[in-house]
A and B are shown apart, each in its own frame.
Chain A
Amino acid sequence: MNIETVKMESGCYRVNGTMIVPPSTDNADYVFVQEWIAEGNTPTPQYTDEEIAATAQAELNVSSQAYLASTDWYITRHAETAEAVPTAITLARATARAAIV
């Protein structure tokens, strides 16, 4: 097997982007990976710092959008009845809007 890239992923190795190899000495591909490591190579983390940041941002976008959706009724009520939106809600919605990228 010609190994070009190895990433750690969920306790396995993802080899060349297409093979997910479990950590078992009964697995022939795992033996190849161990030989590759013994030659001085190092598997890379599953995600780069940029990918981790992007994932965190994506999760923040989802949670922020969900919060805005769950509090939209305050805005609708204010528009229809002029009842004020609580200050805490207004501030939290502003924070949520700002968090979305």
Chain B
Amino acid sequence: MTKARNLSLLSAVEAGATADQTKADIDALGINGANKNWIINGDFQISQRGSYTSATALTTSSVYHLDRFKSKHNNISGTLTHKLAQTVDGKVTNTMLLTATAGSNGRVESVQRIEATQPFVSQTITFSAWVKSNNASSRLIIHQDGANIQTSSNQHTGGGAFELLKGTVTCAANSGDIYLYAGIQAAGTGNVAIANGHYFEMAFVQVEHGSVATDFEHRTYAESLLACQRYYEIIADGGYDVDHMFGIGHGVKSDQINWFYDFKAEKRAAYTLIVASVSGGYHAKNHSVYKSHSTLGMTATVQSLHSISAYMTNIGGVTEQSAWTMQLNGAACHIAVSAEF
């Protein structure tokens, strides 16, 4: 719905409408103030895990590529491509493209699980996205995990142009976790007939309260990045800065230095530490002395959701309580944490 139509509808209700009617119309329009969109990275600005502007193979198990969206194929093969600066609905935006590279009865899909559950209980929500596809089984689906209910948007015509797909559902009292599926798939997220070359390209993905699909809520890059960092955060990236200092360490025993790092965003849950293995890639420096190792680790205890306390071990000559700075030593070095679903 365009802003002009929104205003027209509001103007209409203002003339002689009761307060309840006006509130109902406002609710239907989804005017919920800031942050109406429950989808994070719905315009695909954020891609912390790497660059996917070239077609990247999908697997049968779901994998995160662009932030917050987990993608896979089933019973076919497929690729994912991050397309930059595409014109959709008269606006320039990034999109995510899923392409089948083999034909069969299968599906390609991306899914985002929304962390919040309570705001959806017994509430009406509308989900929408602009989708370009050449397969008429392209659709969006809201899955209420607690109630095991799937609700499909309208299907794409398969005509090869961008179309607005949208759907509205009143969630159950036991709606539980809410998932948004997007792709070429059956209404219940099952397989459909797909030919080699069929594609699903989406933009402006949104889930909002109310019964009307309103204009996509744009967020700044910084806002989106911070939201994504609750689920995945890069601590240090040698590809960006080969000798990046990433933490402060202290000697705890003769062969181990513990180091810590404060996160930019509190993590959703207990997180996985991901460290690219690089020979001599991680340094601990103390004046002119340095220790190095190919990897780092962390213990199962002493972790908080705000920071990480990790270690470099199997190194000799460390004095207890000595101070160290932790530093990368190479472009292939990479440290991140993941608290994704």
Binding site for B on A (CB under 8 A): 1-2, 9-12, 14, 17-24, 26-30, 55, 58-59, 62
- The listed residue (B268, B270, B273, B316) touching A19 by CB distance below 8 A is B273
The interface size bin for chain B is: 20 to 34
Given A55-B314, A62-B317, A27:B297 Cβ within 8 A? no
**Pairs of residues from A and B, 3 with the lowest C-beta to C-beta distance, nearest first:** A11-B300, A24-B270, A26-B269
- Check A2–B61 contact: CB distance below 8 A: yes
User: Would B277 and A22 count as touching, CB distance under 8 A?
Assistant: no
Q: Are B272 and A27 in contact (CB under 8 A)?
A: yes
In the complex, are the beta carbons of A10 and B298 less than 8 A apart?
yes
Q: Residues of A contacting B301 with CB < 8 Å?
A: 11
Give, as a whole number of angstroms, the nearest-CB distance from B246 to chain A. 16
Sample (17) of A-B pairs whose CB atoms are under 8 Å apart:
A2-B61, A10-B298, A12-B299, A18-B274, A18-B276, A19-B273, A20-B273, A20-B275, A20-B297, A21-B272, A22-B298, A23-B300, A24-B269, A26-B269, A27-B270, A28-B341, A58-B255
Q: A10-B300, A18-B275, A24-B269 are in contact. List 12 more A-B contacts (CB 8 A).
A: A10-B298, A17-B277, A19-B272, A20-B297, A22-B271, A22-B298, A23-B300, A24-B270, A27-B339, A28-B341, A55-B255, A58-B255
**B270: chain A residues within 8 A (beta carbon):** 22, 24, 26-27, 30
Q: Which residues of chain B have C-beta atoms less than 8 A from A55's C-beta?
A: 255, 314
Q: Which residues of B contact A17 (CB under 8 A)?
A: 277, 295
**Dominant SS at the A interface?**
mixed
Q: B317's closest neighbor in chain A, by CB?
A: A62
A22 to B272, CA, bound (A): 6
User: From A26, which residue of chain B is reached at the shortest CB distance?
Assistant: B269
Residues of A within 8 A of B224 (CB): none
Q: A20-B297, A20-B298 are in contact. Are A27 and B271 (CB under 8 A)?
A: yes
Cβ–Cβ < 8 Å partners of A28 in chain B: 338, 340-341
Q: How far is the CA of A29 from the CA of B63 in the complex (A)?
A: 11
- Contact A62 B298, beta carbon cutoff 8 Å: no
- The closest CB in chain A to the CB of B341 belongs to A28
Cα A55 to Cα B255 in complex, Å, equals: 10
Report B-chain residues with C-beta under 8 Å of the C-beta of A29: 272, 338
B298: A residues at CB distance < 8 A:
10, 12, 20, 22
Complex interface: chain A residues within 8 A of B338 (CB): 28-29
Q: Judging by beta carbons under 8 Å apart, are A59 and B255 in contact?
A: yes
What 1/0 flags go to B310-327 for Cβ under 8 Å of A? 010010110000000000
Is A59 in contact with B254, judged by CB distance below 8 angstroms?
A: yes
**B273 to A, closest residue via Cβ:** A20
By a CB distance below 8 angstroms, the chain B residues around A22 are 270-272, 298, 300, 303
Return the contact of B269 from the options A14, A18, A27 (Cβ within 8 A).
A27
How long is the Cα–Cα vector from A11 to B340 in the complex, in angstroms? 21
Hey, which chain B residues are within 8 Å of A27, CB to CB?
A: 269-272, 339
Closest A residue to B313 using CB positions: A10
Encoded as 1 (CB less than 8 Å from any A CB) or 0, chain B from 284 to 318 comes to: 00000000000101111101000000010010110
Set of chain B residues within 8 Å of A18, measured between Cβ atoms: 274-277, 295
> In the complex, which residues 48-76 of chain B have their Cβ closer than 8 Å to any Cβ of chain A?
59, 61, 63
**How long is the Cα–Cα vector from A30 to B277 in the complex, in angstroms?**
20
Chain B neighbourhood of A23, CB < 8 A: 300
